[in-house]
């Protein structure tokens, strides 16, 4: 336990990998960049929605904001 196998470059230098042409690499990079942009946009929207939820819940609990269907109902203390 605690022993790690040593890897030498000479063991793997014979391996060959298929690499797409430059244009295809550019196209892949463009798609991934657009996906990153979309993720950032969605994360920002999620953050705004979470802030709105926190604001609304806080104001509903404190009574600053009342839901329309509950405004007309009278409070009764048991």
Q: Which residue ranges make up each domain of the chain?
A: 22-65
Question: Across the chain, which distance is largest between two alpha carbons, in Å?
Answer: 82
Higher pLDDT, 5 or 22: 22
State the Cα–Cα distance between residues 8 and 14, nearest whole angstrom.
12
| pTM for the full predicted model | 0.60
3-state secondary structure of 34: helix
Contact between residue 65 and residue 59 where contact means Cβ atoms under 8 Å apart: yes
Q: For 19-68, how does the pLDDT look when each residue is reduced to its tens digit (9 = 90+)? A: 999 999 999 999 999 999 999 999 999 999 999 999 999 988 888 877 77
Contact between residue 61 and residue 55 where contact means Cβ atoms under 8 Å apart: no
How far from chain centre, in Å, is Cα 26? 25
């Amino acid at each position: 336990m605690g022993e790690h196998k040593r890897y030498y470059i000479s063991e793997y230098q014979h391996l060959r990998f298929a690499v797409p042409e430059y244009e295809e690499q550019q196209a892949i990079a463009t798609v991934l960049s657009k996906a990153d942009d979309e993720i950032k946009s969605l994360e920002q929207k999620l953050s705004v929605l979470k802030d709105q939820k926190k604001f609304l819940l806080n104001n509903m609990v404190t009574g600053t904001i009342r839901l329309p269907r509950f405004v007309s109902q009278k409070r009764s203390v048991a």
